[in-house]
Structure 1
Amino acid sequence: MEALIGMSPPEPEAEDGGKKDRVPTGAPFTWIATNFAHCPQDANDDVLQTYDRVYMWYVISRTIFDDG
């Protein structure tokens, strides 16, 4: 995810058993929605490309390859 958009979500916290939640898409939907729900109106081309990449990543990972 970081190579694609230049940032990545924080590491998931370990559960009681020491296992971390697996996020097959590289980022949980809540993180994507929190950080990329609305593109700024005055966004330059680089920002627009980042938002486009995040949206395409979401569509591909959640609809085409939804089984993880």
Structure 2
Amino acid sequence: MTLSLEDIAMITGLPIEGRALTGKVRSDGWRQRVAALVGVEPETSTHETMKDPRPSGVLFSWIQKHFRRCPKDASPDVVERYARAYLWNLLTQAVLPDGTGDTTLWMFLDSLCDWDVKWSWRSAALAFLYCQVLLTMMHFHYNK
């Protein structure tokens, strides 16, 4: 069984038709942007000689740890943060997964900051799929 984009639209309430999800992705300050949108800043590597283990996002387990259950008496702002974290996690696991299989990519979180913008998640998912297929083909070609 496979989820269709129509299924995702019904589950999440996100549009599949609308503005193209394009633009430049800024990696600088992504942890601070995550904190601004979901209220928790991802940890950085504390060892000075160690490369950041997750420069492209956070582990799915990080989302689970911080956003497993929304508090019952949460304010509307907190509920919105939990909803944004839930959609971010869902989109990056089911619709826009990366090659690691365990990372929630930060680059899609900015698109969830304004609920009134109607992005075409259908075209974003299709473009992302084509990009992943191309990267996989290049990987196999160069690693023969």
TM-score normalised by the shorter chain: which range applies? 0.7 to 0.9
Unaligned runs of 5+ in 2: 1-33, 100-144
Q: TM-score, normalised by structure 2?
A: 0.39
> Which residue of structure 2 lines up, in the alignment, with residue 6 of structure 1?
39
The answer as to 2:50 corresponding to 1:18 is yes
Unaligned runs of 5+ in 1: none
CA RMSD of aligned residues (A): 2.0
Matches within 5 A, 1:11-50: 11-12=44-45, 18-22=50-54, 24=56, 26-50=57-81
- Which one has more relative contact order, counting CA pairs under 8 Å at least 6 apart? 2
Shift in Å at residue 44 of structure 1?
1.1
Cα 1:52–1:46, aligned 2, differ >3 Å: closer, same or farther? same
More helix by share: 2
Shift in Å at residue 30 of structure 1?
1.5
Runs of 4+ that moved beyond 6 A: none
Cα contact 2:70–2:79 (8 A) shared by 1? yes
Cα separation, 1, equivalents of 2:70 and 2:85: 11
Cα contact 1:5–1:54 (8 A) shared by 2? yes
Cα separation, 2, equivalents of 1:23 and 1:55: 20
What whole-Å deviation, never above 9, does each CA across 1:4-45 have from its counterpart, x for those lacking one?
Answer: 22322101456xx83332353x22111111111011011110
Q: TM-score, normalised by structure 1?
A: 0.74
Q: How many residues align?
A: 65
More strand by share: 2
Instruction: Percent identity, please.
Output: 35
Q: Which protein is bigger by CA-based radius of gyration?
A: 2
